[in-house]
Chain A
Amino acid sequence: MELYELTVHELQEKLQRKEITSLDITESYLKRIEEKEPEVEAFITKPEKREDDSTSIPIGIKDNICTRDIKTTCASRMLETFIPPYNATVIEKLSKEGIKVFGKLNMDEFAMGGSTEYSYFKKTKNPWNLSKVPGGSSGGSAAAVAADMVPWALGSDTGGSIRQPASFCGVVGLKPTYGLVSRYGLVAFASSLDQIGPITKDVTDCAILLNAIAGYDEMDSTSAKREKIDYTKAIDKNINGMKIGIPKEYLGDGINEEVKQAILNVAKKYEKMGAKVEECELSIAEYSLATYYIIACAEASSNLGRFDGIRYGYRSENFTNLKELYKNSRSEGFGEEVKRRIILGTYVLSSGYYDAYYKKAQKVRTLVKKQFEKLFEKYDILLTPTAPTTAFGIGEKSNNPLEMYLADLCTVSINIAGLPAMSIPCGIDSNELPIGAQLIGKGFNEETILKAGYALEQELKFRQNYKPQFKK
């Protein structure tokens, strides 16, 4: 067995027993990248060979997380040459744990998309089937982990951007509770929804990585002051008596039949393990997707106002005055989807439409929060599909924005409510593409979803049974 096939906790055991060095790990992954990157195309900046200390573990980083002296492009022409003068807090935290940046990974431009097709640089392929998308926006991160080109990775999730690609690529992806992980140094898309989180080969690695990145940061005023939790302690199989709700709205219209059956199978497994599973209602689900796109685009239109071609980023050569410099730099630097969302966001915030869209969406947000609160009085976790379908074909939805938005159907309400949720592989469909189950928890209760995820992982043994085939 090659080192690149192991999980991080397996690598750590080998390092501790001094069977291998960190350099062995790096070399194994570099070899794998040389072999698989030409067909998967997950990296924007490939890692370099290094000769340093013997205990560090490499990690792939989504290219919207600032890495000092390493290009951070957001997969945009706008930031094609941007070199951050500082590290994001998560990068500093990882470094303290001996986890080192190992390449920067592809994504949809500014994290806006669900397929990684909106990257300015390249289209990443799904390692299970190279004619399919890896999902998005953290598609490079999920594909690199699935293809064993990095042992684990960081992604970011605004409306499903960690969970949906994790689902499409058959790996584990966790969006932490809003405020658990510092956003300092994450290029902002929608500040009230964005969270950084782990994409890993298994649930144990997910807990280890969450340990490393969670915690209060004075540089992010929305980060939460809470007692430090050791998430690896949550890793045990005992879920006896756990109460699990399945919102029926996420098993109805628009959900593929094979995906639905896989989730019902997960429910059966949980019952077998001693959990109490029942159907519940989340009527607000109907309004969530529209609410999400109104809020996310509104915030994006404001956040992306900073790109003006002056202090950093793309600058147009065509201008005669300052206003023209701004306008032409932005128009030439941003891609089609980013401009579409800026326009939508500006529209819903503009005079005359603010009350009709933005204000209403903020009210629906309250409803979404309340309805989840009520469900969590009764249930420990909720179970849904992560995405309505398995990975779709490259080019299948890229010309139909609304179709693409529908891929976020099951994930967006979690960001609106600020809750934690994890996608875990739970089977494959008839085309041999992975299906993801989403486990949703109470705010700051990542432990329960990790516990439930681990129990399911041990029961299904997905990683032992299925592997990406790089089908052409």
Chain B
Amino acid sequence: MKVSKEEIMHIASLADLTLKENEIEKYIINLQEILNFANIVNRAPIDDIDESVTGIEEKNVFRKDEIKEFDNKQGLLQNAKEVQNGMFKIPKVIN
């Protein structure tokens, strides 16, 4: 399994990460090594086998879409770096 520099840059960008030059080299080697190891799943006898998304029973859980008051709004906002008028503040998105 070969992973190119372009590929790793693309993946990092999808994951919203910026990699330094030395990190790129390192992660390429790591990723190749781990993928080579992970390739074993391609040898598993899985023809005609369905996929599972959890270990236990798989069922949908529905609930009513109801609004509940949260009792600690101050506690929520205290973790944000920038708050204005009781709301999270972000840099300007539209010019």
Contacts and interface: CB of A to CB of B under 8 A. Distances in A.
Contacts of A84: 75
B66 to A, nearest CB: 11
Contact of A343 (B12, B63, B88): B12
B56 A177 contact: yes
Size class of the B contact interface (CB-based, 8 Å): 35 or more
A179 interface: yes
B33 interface: yes
B75 to A, nearest CB: 3
A359 interface: yes
Nearest to B45: A367
Please provide the 4 A-B residue pairs with the shortest distance between their CB atoms, ordered closest to farther.
Answer: A418-B55, A85-B75, A312-B79, A362-B51
Given A347-B11, A361-B41, A363-B51, A85 B76 contact: yes
Interface of B: 3, 8, 11-12, 14-19, 23, 27, 30-31, 33-35, 37-46, 49-56, 61, 63, 70, 72, 74-76, 78-81, 88, 90-91, 93
Given A343-B27, A367-B46, A310 B90 contact: yes
Interface string A79-122: 00111111000000000000000000000000000000000000
A356 B39 CA distance: 9
Interface residues of A, number: 75
Given A85-B72, A366-B51, A367-B45, A290 B40 contact: yes
Given A178-B56, A342-B17, A319 B91 contact: yes
For A319, A325, A363, the residue with the greatest tally of chain B CB atoms inside 10 Å of its CB is A363
Overall SS of chain A's interface: helix
Contact of B63 (A192, A221, A322, A405): A221
Given A319-B91, A343-B31, A369-B55, A360 B41 contact: yes
A366 B86 CA distance: 47
B56 A344 contact: no
Given A221-B61, A325-B91, A343-B11, A290 B37 contact: yes
B32 to A, nearest CB: 11
Contacts of B40: 286-287, 290
Given A221-B61, A301-B15, A364 B30 contact: no
Contacts of B52: 362-363, 365-366, 369
Contacts of B80: 310-312
Contacts of A356: 42
A311 B75 contact: no
Nearest to B47: A363
Interface string A306-340: 00111111010001011101111011001010011
A366 B50 contact: yes
For A192, A284, A328, the residue with the greatest tally of chain B CB atoms inside 10 Å of its CB is A192
A204 interface: no
Contacts of A342: 15, 17
Contacts of A334: 17
B41 A344 contact: no
Given A290-B38, A357-B41, A178 B55 contact: yes
A83 B75 contact: yes
Contacts of A415: 55
A274 interface: no
A342 B39 CA distance: 18
A6 B36 CA distance: 48
Given A361-B41, A364-B41, A418 B17 contact: no
